[in-house]
Each structure stands twice: as C-alpha cells, then as structure tokens.
Amino acid sequence: MTHTRCLILGSGPAGYTAALYAARANLMPVLIEGPQPGGQLMITTEVENFPGYPDGVEPFQMMDDMRRQAERFGTVMVADEAVRAELGATAGDGHKVHRIFTDKGEEYEADTLIIATGAAARFLGIPSEEEYRGKGVSACATCDGFFYRGKTVAVVGGGDTACEEAGYLANLCKKVYLIVRKPYLRASEIMQQRVMSNPKIEVLFEHNTLRLTGEGKVTGADLVFRKGEADEKDVHIDIDGFFLAIGHTPRTELFKGMIETDAEGYIKTEGDSPRTSVAGVFAAGDCADPHYRQAVVAAGSGCKAALEAERYLKTIDN
C-alpha cells in the first residue's frame, strides 16, 4: 500500500493543475491518470482558447506540457485506473483516510483526495462517429466552432444545450442544421424561440442520423425522417462539421453512494468551493461542472482543489 498526503484522480486540465499546485506546496501528490490521459480535451482537433498559446496548440502537446510541469515539482504519475474506493476509512492511528484500489491490484491511501475524473460526451453510437472523431465530429461547439467559420454544420439534440450550441454556431457558420429526434424541442421556451427565429438555423424534426460520409473528413450525413413509420424517408445533407449536444455523463460511478451528487451524477460542492460532502475530498473539473466544460475553467478548479487540500491538511495536522 502506498500512502500519500494528496491523491489525485484524473489527468485532464483539472487533475494536472491540481497536481502542480499540490506539488509546489510540498504535498508530494500521486496522480492516477485513468483510462484517458489528457481527458475529454483529447477528442478535439486544436485548442485555440487556452491562455498562453497565441497560435493555438495540439491537445496532446498542451496536456504533455501540463504533465511535465506537474512532474517537475515532484508529482508521481501512475498509469493506472481506479476501480474501487473507500472514502473516510479509519487508518491505524485513528484518523480518517481515503483509499483507492486500481485495476493493477495497487492500493493507495491518502489524507486528501482530489477527484478530477471528468465527464464523457454522449455519442449516438453509430460507427462513423468514431471514424470521424477529430475529423469533423465534435462534442463542443465552444471549443471547435471557430474552425467552421463560414461553413455548414449540424447539431444533434433537442434540449437547451443543443439550442445554445446551434445559436453559438450560427454566429460563425453559414448554415446550421439542428437534428431533432422528436417532433418537438425539449428546450426552454426562450431557447426554442431563439432557434426558431434564427434564419441561419434549420430544424429537422423527427430525423435520426444513420451515418456520416466523406473521404478523410466529414462532408455529409445520411438521415432518416420518421424512422419506422409509413412515411419514412431517407435524407442527405451536405455538412462540414457534426456536433453532438445530447449530454455528458460524469465519470463518478466509482463514488456512487459515498458522496453527494446531483441527479445526473455530477459531484455537488459547497458553494463556489471544491469541498464535497466528505471531509478531505475535493472535486475539480467536469465531474463537478455540468455547465461550462472548458479546459481553462477546469484548470482553475484544479488550482482551487489543491489549495483547499493544503488548508485541510493544516487543520488535521494541528
């Protein structure tokens, strides 16, 4: 068993930033990288909206920079995945610790735990999504919309997020298709009005996406209108980009029943702090953020989590 003052789960902007601050505070953090080093950011093509990169940066390069910076100050990186957790366990000397068990059979015991496991975008499940990921398929209009200026794109979804992303893209793109599976929008009334009154947005009600098409990158999508009904009809649209806006799933299953979450599974924190319902456990990044889901916001929350972990350790040391 390995004991550490600060254990961090997740290797996205939140996790690496938390590791940087914790290491510089001499907490000698251990970071378990998880199944997707670099986090959700790795499915985008280029990052142009993170401070410090005036010419943009490839996601892999940016995350490698963050990783090396955290390592420089002593963070121990572990290429492993957490599979079981015990929060608030009692250590041999009687104080509370948090234990994480990995798929390689390792056990880590920590005085403080920072959960930065992120959230995964939901995809439709069609094979071509994976084929074109990073080649026209995106789950973040704010991240990637800039690359489609003056072009035609499609957004899938019928809720507030989909409507918001369609409106954002309409400010950049020549045309936006909003592909809605149902015959109505689930979004709030104000969001529906904005979409329906925008001349650059065409809403395709009762349409399902069958496949994406193109040579090396997305150039079109095959849809079906009223699938399974008597008036079913195949439809093709020419597009340059395909945006998923059907929600995210926070990677918090490991802590189900141990820590307070909302109905979707996002970890609840106290006010604007990263403190959770379990003493000594802090949440940072997309696993606790159902709203913004931006790298710079996640990095800031990682900083806050490390600072709070340091303060917490001072209280139990005294």
Question: Which residues are part of the catalytic machinery?
Answer: 140, 143-144
**What are the two backbone dihedrals, phi and then psi, of residue 222, each rounded to the nearest 5 degrees?**
-95, 125
221, 197 Cβ separation under 8 angstroms: no
DSSP string, 39-99: GGGGGSS-B-SSTT-TT-B-HHHHHHHHHHHHHHTTPEEE---EEEEEEEEE-TTS-EEEE
- Of 102, 51, 23, 43, nearest to 244 by C-alpha is 43
Q: Are 168 and 140 in contact (CB under 8 A)?
A: no
Q: Which residue has the tokens 């990044």?
A: 285
Q: At what angle do helices 189-196 and 160-170 cross, to 10 degrees?
A: 30
Report the distance separating Cα 98 and Cα 249, nearest Å.
24
Residue-level length of the chain: 318
Residue 124 DSSP label: -
Per the rule left: phi > 0, alpha: psi between -120 and 50, beta: everything else, 216 is left
Specify which residues 241 forms β-bridges with. 153
The residue type of 96 is K
In angstroms, the CA 112 to CA 78 distance is 17
